[in-house]
A and B are shown apart, each in its own frame.
Chain A
Amino acid sequence: MNILGKRYILFGFSLLIIIPGLIIMFTRGIPLSIDFKGGSLLEVKFDAAQPAPGEILDVYDASGIKDSQVQTSDSGSFIIRSEFMQNETRDAVLTALTAKFGKLEIVRFDSVGPSIGEQVTSRGTLAVIVSSLLVVLFIAWSFRGVQNAFRYGICAILAMIHDVAIIFAITAYGSLLFGWEIDALFLTALLTVIGFSMQDTIVVFDRIRENMSIYRRLDFEALVNHSIVQTLQRSINTQLMTVEFLLLALIMFGGATLQEFASILLIGLMSGTYSSIFIAAPILVLWENREWEKWFKPKALAG
């Protein structure tokens, strides 16, 4: 099985998913939840009445609260997002809602100041950078026995960046289709995928490391390809059968709170496996062959 020979097709496939997603993200703006933006989120459930979302918006407008949007949840409650509300404002709105639609139950009320959002974002970015650096260092140390140990770390990070890009692209599609938002759980999913992307890449790289001491005379590309084929069964079984089963069950049977989280995690972990085989290892070969020197000479591209 020659996987590496098709590496440019595989790179192209990934870019086909990533680029439109990123374009959506940058043209429409990143859909941030109030975890990041700050504001208020009120979820109410009415005992008897089932008003149209527009009618609830009217109540908000009458109370002088701007930027509100109403979503219905599958349990029959209403999720109302708006600019920041003080407790007094909330009580006023609740009174107005009760007066108009009858008895209600508060399912959720979140008020998040925008300062928290800034802290989350900066801390999150910092956490990603720090953990990436540590993992690069760890891989370089763990692979110290082979030539160009640092490359393995860098390639693992490139595969990880690929997975992060995939997640953002998928979230952009999700925001377009299902109204997904980037929230704190998204961060958790993102950071998990980063960890597992590394874990998966390391398994493939470990096989390359092992094979290097066994097949000393084999050319690097053939050796990497052989290592990929050897670990393929494990990759498919672990990712597609086990982790995915658990997450798939969570998406299908789990509570609504976790569905977006589980979906992103599922795609992210699939991408983690995909990238360790089809991105990280091919880049390693690309680097070894210094292929970028041939990129602008059309004849050599066929590789």
Chain B
Amino acid sequence: MDGENTRMLRNLTNRLLLIGLVLMLAIWVDTNEIVQIPNPFKDDGSPLFQVDVKPRLGLDLQGGLQVLLEADIADDVKVSREEMETARNIVENRTNALGVSENIIQLAGERRIVGEFPGAEDTDAILDIIQQTGLLEFVDTGTYAPSEGSTLQTDFLPGSSTPQTPADGTTVFHTIMTGNVLQGVNVSVTQTGEPAIDFVLNSEGAAIFAEHTSANTGKYLAIVLDKQVISAPIIESAITGGQGSISGNFTPETANALAVQLRYGSLPIPLKVVETRIIGPTLGEDSLQKSLVAGLVGFVIVALFMIIYYRLPGLSAVLSILAYAAILYAVFKLIGVTLTLPGIAGIMLSTGSALDANILIFERLKEELRSGRSLRQAFDQAWKRAWPSIRDSNVAALITAVILFWFGSSFGATIVKGFSFTLAIGVIISLFSSLFITQSFLALLFNIVKPTNYERSMGI
């Protein structure tokens, strides 16, 4: 065998550089909770690029609460998409205010909302705040200027009071009226070109407003949604016409958002809790630990089998599977996939798919070598001839994953969705791994070892 014939892949150096680069990026993402690139043109240390890549564990791994909400109206009444979207926003805003991290609030079907709160322990507080109607208040704060987003204690308490943790030394302010007096809200532009919010009150509200504003000119009037300050304008003059305008540091977007919040301060449609699931974190932890051990044991057996049975190609496959795992985990962290147990099952199956592709290729390699081709020819042929079956079988898997995903999202079965999503991403990365990484690694191994004894190096 002459030297020229034994060198695999002319562009091997470039390929290995690319793989090295991808792997370095992947490991960088894998081992950090936040990835950032400092901005070289600024001294204040503000990053040029920053992504939060904390691993997200789903409800089953971390424990927590899952709530399924449904529009509480007759079945034959149609609920519009916008109404549901607004309700979703309100639920999200409210639960975020509780400081629960990694909330996922999603529309599920035409009249349902699924809320997930991994790690949530105070489940009653979450249920309470979701079921609240959504209370808009106009609060007299006198000369005190509350900051936007801060929480106010007011003296208006609807049927059931909400458990709010009062800040130290909080005073209770007087609510002069609530959102049920609003008749219309619009975004307008002031003479200076700044966005403002115009509102129209009903007759009852107009009377209260007129009385209050004439007596309290120059003082603050806070607009509070579910006890949270949206805006706290100064009363510039007495407002007697039942109309008013809120100006502030608005951008067109924030003005619009506030208008939406004012317009839909209360839920546009009543929501009822259809399903609540409380999953103890111990159960999740137990499952996670055991599944991790299981995955590790499984992988070690697979790795041993691959190396013993396929020798050099097997070694390159194991290395490429490790690279696959590193890339996959990095992609999940970057996209922000919330990992669940079925998701891990999906990963394991796509790993199986990656191994299958490798095995298909190696069986071809052996066949070509047995039929008397040179190592170089067999190497080229193995990938070429295994490709159609790898392509077709993976496309079939992808079709199924996509259908599953669609099926999962249409009614909020997050288990099915998590599984299909990780499966789909896994299948795509497994193609890169088996077609590109394994090939490059094997070429490198062949170049280093220069195998002549196929029985020892290839298990033939």
Task: State whether B290 touches A203 (Cβ < 8 A).
Answer: no
The answer to whether A199 and B348 have CB atoms under 8 Å apart is no
Known interface pairs A113-B274, A185-B342, A242-B359; A199-B280 also in contact (CB < 8 Å): no
Do B416 and A184 have beta carbons less than 8 Å apart?
Answer: yes
Task: Report yes or no: B356 in contact with A242, Cβ–Cβ below 8 A.
Answer: yes
Q: Is B282 an interface residue (CB 8 A)?
A: yes
The yes or no answer to A258 lying at the interface (CB within 8 A) is yes
Residue B363 lies at the interface, judged by CB distance under 8 Å to chain A: yes
CB of A89 within 8 Å of the partner chain = no
Q: Which A residue's beta carbon lies closest to that of B321?
A: A242
Cβ < 8 Å to A, chain B residues 406-428: 406-407, 410-411, 413, 415-416, 419, 423
Whether the pair A196, B397 counts as a contact (CB closer than 8 A) is yes
Q: With A and B bound together, what is the CA distance between A75 and B396 in angstroms?
A: 40
Are A194 and B278 in contact, with the CB atoms below 8 A? no
Which segment of B79-87, B148-156, B218-226, B384-392 sits at the interface?
Answer: B384-392
Would you call A202 and B389 a contact (CB within 8 A)?
yes
A75→B353 CA distance, assembly (Å): 34
| Chain A min CB distance to B353 (Å) | 7
Query: In the complex, are the beta carbons of A199 and B404 less than 8 A apart?
Result: no
User: What residues of B have a CB within 8 angstroms of the CB of A265 in the complex?
Assistant: 345
Interface SS of chain B: helix
Q: B395 contacts which chain A residues (CB < 8 A)?
A: 138, 142
Please give the number of chain A residues whose Cβ is less than 8 angstroms from any Cβ of chain B in the complex. 68
Question: What does DSSP make chain A's interface, helix, strand, loop or mixed?
Answer: helix
> B27 on the interface (CB 8 Å rule)?
no
Other-chain residue from B280, B299, B363, B423 in contact with A234 (beta carbon distance below 8 A): B363
Tell whether B200 is near chain A: CB-to-CB under 8 Å. no
Are B411 and A120 touching (Cβ within 8 A)?
Answer: yes
Q: How far is the CA of A105 from the CA of B63 in the complex (A)?
A: 14
Set B301, B341, B351, B356: member contacting A257, Cβ < 8 A: B341
Distance in Å: Cβ of A303 to nearest Cβ of chain B: 29
Asked whether A49 is an interface residue with its Cβ less than 8 Å from the other chain, the reply is no
Q: Distance (Å) between the CB of A174 and the closest chain B CB?
A: 18
Contact B385 A116 (CB under 8 A): no
| Structural contact, B274 and A202, CB atoms closer than 8 A | no
Assuming the contacts A109-B278, A200-B393, asked whether A195 and B400 have C-beta atoms less than 8 A apart, the reply is: yes
CB distance from A250 to the nearest CB of B (A): 5
Partner of B407, one of A106, A127, A210, A247: A127
Pull 26 A–B residue pairs with CB atoms less than 8 Å apart, ordered by A: A113-B274, A119-B109, A127-B406, A134-B403, A138-B396, A184-B415, A188-B404, A188-B416, A191-B407, A192-B345, A194-B400, A195-B399, A198-B400, A199-B394, A203-B393, A209-B388, A241-B305, A242-B302, A243-B355, A245-B298, A246-B352, A249-B297, A250-B294, A250-B348, A254-B287, A257-B283
Closest 9 CB pairs of A and B: A255-B287, A195-B400, A249-B298, A206-B389, A127-B407, A243-B352, A253-B294, A199-B393, A131-B403
